[in-house]
Chains A and B, each alone.
Chain A
């Protein structure tokens, strides 16, 4: 089945630094990928929709300059958390939409970001 690889699985960074998270669709091409943030014991909050070759579409309230999204190819989207602060600590999950015959949304394994 469809596989999405997300790296790193865990990262600890210092306040003020930037962190990049990668999301790759391994066996299908994804024109569209999604980035979510999940707080403890809560549902997923969509941050932005990543579109290959064009600008991402951000949800209301999400800072575009803080959460930079790049979708440079049909298999790779990246989320960069810039000038990270402790309140950015969270679990980030990506998802890629497979628009082929096996239509569906496949999720990465998530990235636990801790900002110290």
Chain B
């Protein structure tokens, strides 16, 4: 079955420190992977995606993610966290069956402390 797992409900990090938000996936075939961020009472903002090419993907606001096929992971990273990065982060994978919808993880709340 196609699925995405975000094992951490919340990640806490001090401002200026590196951050990692974890994501693992299970799909048949080559995955299309996405990261989105959601601020309170807002829709989802696109951060980055992996479809093909380099395993290290660079995205918006200084975020990057590394596609690791052997570990079926797509962790989101940032070298230096900002307080303004505090938000809800979703990992998603395209479901090639049927309507090509996105399958979302449960979300990880990132809290960056000053």
Binding site for B on A (CB under 8 A): 1, 4, 6, 32, 34, 42-44, 46, 49, 51, 57, 91, 93, 95, 97, 103-110, 112
Interface on B for A, CB 8 Å cutoff?
32, 34, 36, 41-46, 49, 51, 90, 92, 98-102, 104-107
- Closest chain A residue to B60, Cβ basis: A1
Other A-B pairs, 16, CB within 8 Å; known A4-B43, A43-B104 = A1-B46, A32-B100, A43-B105, A46-B101, A49-B99, A97-B100, A103-B51, A104-B34, A104-B46, A104-B49, A105-B102, A107-B44, A107-B45, A107-B46, A108-B43, A110-B42
Contact A110 B46 (CB under 8 A): no
A-B contacts at CB below 8 angstroms, number: 51
Report the Cα distance A46→B101, complex, angstroms. 9
Q: Are A109 and B49 in contact (CB under 8 A)?
A: no
Main secondary structure of the interface of A (DSSP, over half): strand
Residue of B with least CB distance to A56: B99
In chain B, what residue has the closest Cβ to A38? B38
Q: Given A43-B90, A46-B101, A57-B99, is A107 in contact with B36 using a C-beta cutoff of 8 Å?
A: yes
Main SS class of interface, B = loop
Q: Most chain-B Cβ atoms within 10 A of its Cβ — which of A57, A93, A95, A107? A: A107
